[in-house]
A and B are shown apart, each in its own frame.
Chain A
Amino acid sequence: MDSVTKRYPDGTVAVDGLSLEIPDRTITVLVGPSGCGKTTTLRMINRMVEPSEGTILVDGVDVQKQPVNTLRRSMGYVIQNAGLFQHRTIADNIATVPRLLGWSKQKARARAEELMERVGLDASLAKRYPYQLSGGQQQRVGVARALAADPPVLLMDEPFSAVDPVVRKGLQEELLRIQGELGKTIIFVTHDIDEAIRLGTKVAVMRAGGRLAQFAEPAELLSAPADAFVEDFLGADRGIRRLSFFPSEGLELLTGPVVAVGATAEQTAAREASGAPYLLVTDGGGKPLGWSEPGSLPGAAAEELLPYGRPFVAGQDSLRVALDCAVLSPTGWAVAVDGTGRVVGVVSQETIGEAIRGAHAAGRKADVAGRKTDTEGRKADVAG
């Protein structure tokens, strides 16, 4: 996208001199407050809106140089309320673009069934009508319909903003999975910065007047917002959110204060000596039961144990999850489990705090290194 501008006849400028290079096979998120021109930007890519100035190239070809309907059929298009055709069945909705491209009925039908499975819809829904589906299911149909003709590019305009948060999270995970499987180039518009950070490989933050405020990877956005506007838009807890990008892998876990439920008094005494103010009691299978006050026997009834909040999966969850677990736990200690839910250790808030400081320091070093290779890369580009 090269210095694209959209000016309406009444003089309003929706998008002002926007230049963006959208990487292939990744999710690029356009995010910003309402009226920042993010939707207009998206709609200029498939020419639902014609730019006033500038050019948009897809794989080096100017979108203006292609017949408009050919262009649109080569890009999946997903909109906010799914925009399903109420008078057509789910299968027929999904088969829309293949039918436009002249596929046979059987081939389009087979493709629709394949896609329903891909987006996690039960095959029995094929003959239903949109009104019989929930909002989340309708949106899945919207995504399936966009994928039907296997377009390399997917344009998504606030696709998940009309569904409730739980369903939205499911749809986001599904989108990441589909993207991982199919490797589409997705351009995703949202006003929700959390969604942008969760989904985006790169995030373009736009400000009112259709200007680009910052175009960066989510981690960089959180650690180094370009200006006060971006910082403000990211919200107050960007420090906490940034922890999502730090793995819990290096956390030093203590196994000392962990004791099985049927342990003998000597074993318990030995465990108590390990320095932790509480003992974590596990059941016979190694699953956590709760915290025991020092001195009280770990053989005590389960209701006398302090709740352990929720555990985090060591190595898999981020530091943000680990910290959250520690904060939730009344003892201030987080419980680390493996993939099967067995306790692998416990960790205190202080230890997590140290890990965060360590990650920050490592991040700064990586940033400097990254910038250096970046500059070198650019030099090589110029030389080439």
Chain B
Amino acid sequence: MNVLNFVNAFFSDSAHWHGYDGIPTRLWEHIQYSLLALVIAAAIGLPVGLVTGHTGRGGNTLAFIATAARALPSFGLLVLLFVLIGLGMLPVMIPLVVLAVPPILVTTYEAVRSVDPSPVDAARGMGMPESRVLFQVELPEALPLILGGLRSAAIQIVSTATIAAYVSFGGLGRYIVDGLYQRDYEKVVGGAMLTALLALATLAVFWAVSRVAVSRGVRRSA
């Protein structure tokens, strides 16, 4: 009973590399769910975080909503929504988005708030319109922190997206759910392993993005 034996057995079984239940298919499904959830969460969290951070208003409301959202158990929410809405992508996406919005929203808000006030003051004093102050001064200077928020949201999504399998969807959770049901622990460990590796790959992607997107002048100070 060695975890490594399980891992070895799982990955060396050629049946796990082909077909609709093969690793490439499941991995790709998992990436799709995660990306979709991340995009939706960012579409909500980023604009709200940027605007509230820029104006400095609504911080308390934000913190309240974020805390409340964090308290919701993803799995419970999934089951509840499944019962209410029925089978579909929506009951899967909602818990993932609810999970990812708080870290994005709160870090974006905090990141913009914590930008050094003097360049912002200088920008305004030089006659920069507010939109440019936000996008050309605050956003670039806050970018390392904002990416950090997106990164932790992405990692949470990747690990939580396994729950999609409970409501008959694919993804890496399939191995875990099926493995538990079939008492096939090779499968369970393999699925968990793949999920962890995907989370690490996500980290690498964010590292690469920040190398490209964040100005050299800010990277040093962040």
Contact = CB atoms under 8 A, between A and B. Distances in A.
A87 B118 CA distance: 14
B127 A73 contact: yes
Contacts of B143: 87
B218 A87 contact: yes
B5 to A, nearest CB: 51
Contacts of A100: 126-128, 132
Contacts of B186: none
Contacts of B220: 129, 131
Interface string A69-102: 1111100010111111111110000001100100
| Range of interface residues on A (Cβ < 8 Å) | 20 to 34
Given A69-B129, A130-B217, A85 B123 contact: yes
Given A72-B127, A73-B126, A79 B121 contact: yes
A84 B127 contact: no
Contacts of A89: 217
B118 A86 contact: no
A88 B215 contact: yes
Contacts of B216: 129
Contact of B118 (A70, A71, A80, A96): A80
A269 interface: no
A302 interface: no
Contacts of B132: 100
B22 to A, nearest CB: 45
Contact of A83 (B122, B215, B221): B122
Contacts of A84: 119, 122
Contacts of B120: 83
Interface in A38-84: 46, 48, 68-73, 77, 79-84
Interface class of chain B by DSSP? helix
A70 B129 CA distance: 10
Interface residues of B, number: 25
A311 B141 CA distance: 51
B137 interface: yes
B136 to A, nearest CB: 8
Contacts of A85: 119, 123, 137, 140-141, 217
Contacts of B124: 48, 72
B125 interface: yes
A85 B126 CA distance: 12
Interface in B202-222: 214-218, 220-221
Contact of B217 (A48, A72, A129): A129
Given A87-B218, A88-B215, A129-B220, A72 B119 contact: no
Contact of A86 (B123, B128, B218): B218
A126 to B, nearest CB: 13
B141 A79 contact: no
Given A77-B122, A79-B121, A83-B122, A69 B217 contact: no
A83 B133 CA distance: 13
Nearest to B214: A87
Contacts of B128: 69, 96, 100
Interface of B: 116, 118-129, 132, 137, 140-141, 143, 214-218, 220-221
Given A79-B121, A86-B116, 11 more contacts: A46-B125, A48-B125, A79-B118, A81-B118, A82-B118, A85-B141, A86-B217, A87-B215, A87-B217, A96-B128, A129-B216
28 contacts: A68-B127, A69-B129, A70-B127, A79-B118, A80-B118, A82-B118, A82-B122, A83-B116, A83-B118, A83-B122, A84-B122, A85-B119, A85-B140, A86-B116, A86-B119, A86-B141, A86-B215, A86-B218, A87-B141, A87-B214, A87-B217, A87-B218, A89-B217, A96-B126, A96-B128, A129-B215, A131-B221, A155-B125
3 shortest A-B CB distances, which residue pairs?
A129-B217, A83-B122, A72-B127
